[in-house]
Amino acid sequence: MVWLDGKPTLVKTLAWPVDDPDLKRRGWNRKGWSVMDDQILFWRAFPLSENPRTVIYMANTTSARDTQADTITLERVAEVGYAAHSLVIVPAVGFVTAEWRSNFGVVFRAHSRTGEFLRERHCPAQAGYGGLSVLGPTVSLCVTSTDPILPNCKDVPFRYLHYRRLDYVAGHTPDFPNNLRAETIVTWNADSGDLRMVKIPHPSLEDITHDAQFQYISPNKIVLAGSLAFTPCGAVLCAFSADAEDEEPLMFYQGEHTDPDGISNYLGQTGTSTLGPIVVHNHDSGRRITIFKSELLLGDIPSFATSRDPPGMREVWNYPNDTRTLNFEVPFLSVAATRVLVYRQDERAERPIIFVLDFDQTLLATLLSKQPSERAEWNAQLVDSCAQVKVVTRRFNIAVDGEIWDAEYTWPQRAPPEWEAHLDTILKEDEDEDEYMDDSDSDDEVLPSGLEYDEAPEEHREPVPFGYVQTTLRLQGVIDARSLAITPHAILELPEPTKNGRVFYFD
């Protein structure tokens, strides 16, 4: 229950190694972060050097937690003799890299944590996109295979996909072919060396454009974030089988978007090596996200195609017991099991307001079972410690303009007058809370505190709706939430080139 307090139990500095020449080296390079459970990895590749190479730095937040030192250093642990295009931690192995070679394809390599070469595998491809996705000992990448392009897919506009190519260099890359389609997900087992190619279902490619953002949600099921390529536009989350190509994909549609160019084809990235019960679809350019139960995407919860324009899709707002559309932004790594790290930007204070949404339904039931006297006591404790918690089961949808649509009494039902009055009170309280924000440098001064139960009406509380517990985090001094990452035990503020980061522990 420590996370509910919103205040870290311990804070340590996350620092770069001192006087490392490759961190100070100027000139063009590739770089990136990988966070997995308690491990943090930063890599920097130098493709233009006389001897191309990649340098790897790592730290372990768990082993460093109980030491006397106030600083955790990203130690230089390895250097490999090629310039990687993507690199991720694979806990069972060490780390895995992907290197793109023109007219050859992708080369996957597995290394131990100290850089020892273990094995590699070549995958022929015309192009590779995005970053590596991890599940157990496997890594996956979206590619354009060497197969002929399907005739029905040639006219689908992939306006931004080329920016996701592994070999894209802003301002320097020559024009890429505009008829390539990212139609395959290649998965390599870094332990066994096995390689398999999974085709994105043809119906999806005919209607949907995407930016190579996908995740495995089970060993044989993949979700892909995309949007309709043609009018009426709208965001789509496609779930399809990695084993059965003839199995019909499940396509969940969000048609409520004011600007087709504002649709973002992203997923909330996870920093844990185990599968979680939720998937976060970041579909509205930082304005809205939708949280799905994995069971809905897996097909364990029945769903039906009801949309007419376009036909054959599942409309997200028809599943208020299995999805939540909320007006938040998500940072670099936003998902850890049942927890989702989100934020809103407070323009007046020029700072982010940061929250954790916990979709642990067991925790939710425990908090709902508290009696009025227990709730009052807990509220007093939260106020005294300047903490804020919301327990939410009321079902609603957030429209593009921020308007809240009630999902407890949907058309043609008519809400009871007392429920409409209750909603007016809630909206007024939210407006008052926004007015309370000021430009203080102290989280305790700028953020409201206390306990709020935002519950469904009495007649809709059994079974318990798909709800969440919202905790306001007190991360003193964080001014850019985009660089945050959540792990099972902590929030990471990743360091910048000239500035150290921090580890905020919550266990």
Distances (CA, A) of 96 to 87, 91, 268: 6, 10, 21
Given a cut of 60, is residue 376 above it in pLDDT?
A: yes
Q: Which residues contact 185 (CB under 8 A, 6 or more apart)?
A: 140, 141, 142, 143, 197, 198, 200, 214, 222, 242
Whether the Cβ atoms of residue 284 and residue 235 lie closer than 8 Å to each other: yes
Give the alpha-carbon dihedral of 36, 42, 48, 53, to 10 degrees. -70
- Per residue in 401-428, pLDDT (tens digit) is 778 888 898 888 888 999 999 988 887 7
Given a cut of 80, is residue 261 above it in pLDDT?
A: no
Whether the Cβ atoms of residue 328 and residue 361 lie closer than 8 Å to each other: no
Given a cut of 80, is residue 68 above it in pLDDT?
A: yes
Task: Tell me phi and psi for residue 443, to 5 degrees.
Answer: -60, -40
- Per residue in 9-21, pLDDT (tens digit) is 999 999 999 989 9
Q: Pick the range with the lowest mean pLDDT from 116-130, 254-268, 332-346, 388-402.
A: 254-268
Q: What token pair was written down for 176?
A: 């890429």
- With a threshold of 0.85, does the pTM exceed it? yes
Supply the pLDDT for residue 237: 95
Band of pLDDT at residue 441, cut at 50, 70 and 90:
low
Give the alpha-carbon dihedral of 483, 451, 346, 261, to 10 degrees. 70
Which residue type occupies 70? D
Q: Which residues contact 195 (CB under 8 A, 6 or more apart)?
A: 108, 121, 123, 186, 187, 188, 189
Given a cut of 80, is residue 3 above it in pLDDT?
A: yes
Q: Which residues contact 259 (CB under 8 A, 6 or more apart)?
A: none
Distances (CA, A) of 415 to 136, 350, 408, 452: 47, 39, 8, 22
What is the mean predicted confidence (pLDDT) over 53-79? 94
Supply the pLDDT for residue 205: 64
Supply the pLDDT for residue 373: 97
Q: Pick the range with the lowest mean pLDDT from 33-42, 196-205, 285-294.
A: 196-205
What is the mean predicted confidence (pLDDT) over 24-45? 92
Supply the pLDDT for residue 234: 87
Average pLDDT, the chain: 89
Q: Pick the range with the lowest mean pLDDT from 64-78, 421-435, 472-486.
A: 421-435
- Per residue in 331-341, pLDDT (tens digit) is 989 999 999 99
Q: Pick the range with the lowest mean pLDDT from 152-156, 254-258, 362-366.
A: 152-156
What is the mean predicted confidence (pLDDT) over 432-457? 71
Supply the pLDDT for residue 152: 60
Supply the pLDDT for residue 159: 65
Helix/strand/coil (H/E/C) assignment for every residue in 253-288: EECCCCCHHHCCCEECCECCCCCCCEEEEECCCCCC
Given a cut of 80, is residue 155 above it in pLDDT?
A: no
